[in-house]
Amino acid sequence: MNKIAITGKGGVGKTTLSSLLAYLYQEAGYNVLAVDADPASGLSNALGFPPELVAAIEPVSEMDELIFERTGAQPGTVGGFFKLNPKVDDIPDRFSATYRDIRLLRMGTIKIGGTGCLCPENALLKALTTHLFMRRNEVLILDMEAGVEHLGRATAQSVDAMIIVVEPGRRSVGVMEEIRRLANDIGLRRLYLVGNKVRGESDQAFIRQIAEDLPVIGFLPYDPQVIEADLTGQAVYDIAPETVAAAREIWGKLSA
């Protein structure tokens, strides 16, 4: 089984890669659960979900009644008593939508910093993430923010691959290093890099150089068709054959 988390700086292509891996696993006959855990993500769009279907999926972090029902505390309250192991096993099936055999769940944001980690909505999201990685037996594609907030020590062992997406440029390096440090803190070992928006040999060389000892499992080309998909609301998988071919090589390494 493949449980994959995708992270990296905003705008590097996490959502693009997530959508492609979801379709490649689906195409190979796997059951796929794609999870949008980045508030700025739009994974549903990259997957080509029809807008009315997207509108029907509410992010779990915004389901106040559910959070209260499951944790025993009102969202937004801090430091009070609430269940740290709320029931979550019915959530993926009940609150997701399926399009072309890809199930999509919108997680919403974990609030980080300050007292944020002590509130009930975070307890629910963490329990849900642990459940997705450890109890469900389908391919999991978790499209994350630049961090590991949803993950914890318990989950780290169950992550088959955490892919950090980088693009040619110094700015994605700092974020990559920070993610690496956080991953190391929770004992997450299977880290890989994918270089995106690559325009040629020198971009590839740049990425290999910043990767140091992190394995680079592939590159996606800079591809105007990816932008076109975003503009027209089509699935990247449907209209960007060059990028799909490159993603297929990455997929081959992950599923080998």
The residues of the shown chain that bind ligand ADP, judged by CB under 6 A, are 8, 10-16, 41, 196-197, 220, 222-223, 226-227, 230, 243
- Alpha-carbon radius of gyration of the chain: 18
Work out what residue 44 binds among ligand ADP, Mg ion, none; the CB cut-off runs from 5 to 8 Å by kind.
none
Which of the 8 DSSP states describes residue 159? -
Footprint of Mg ion (CB under 5 A): 14-15, 38, 41
Which residues, at least 6 apart from 243, have a Cβ–Cβ distance to it below 8 Å?
16, 20, 220, 221, 223, 225, 226, 236
Query: Measured from the CB atom, is 86 or 108 closer to Mg ion?
Result: 108
In angstroms, what is the minimal distance from the CB of 18 to Mg ion?
8
Work out what residue 151 binds among Mg ion, ligand ADP, none; the CB cut-off runs from 5 to 8 Å by kind.
none
In angstroms, what is the minimal distance from the CB of 193 to ligand ADP?
14
Distances (CA, A) of 11 to 52, 129, 150, 165: 25, 23, 19, 10
In angstroms, what is the minimal distance from the CB of 172 to ligand ADP?
10
In angstroms, what is the minimal distance from the CB of 125 to ligand ADP?
19
Q: Beta strands 32-36 and 161-166: pairing type?
A: unpaired
Work out what residue 230 binds among Mg ion, ligand ADP, none; the CB cut-off runs from 5 to 8 Å by kind.
ligand ADP
Rounded CA separation 99/36 (Å): 14
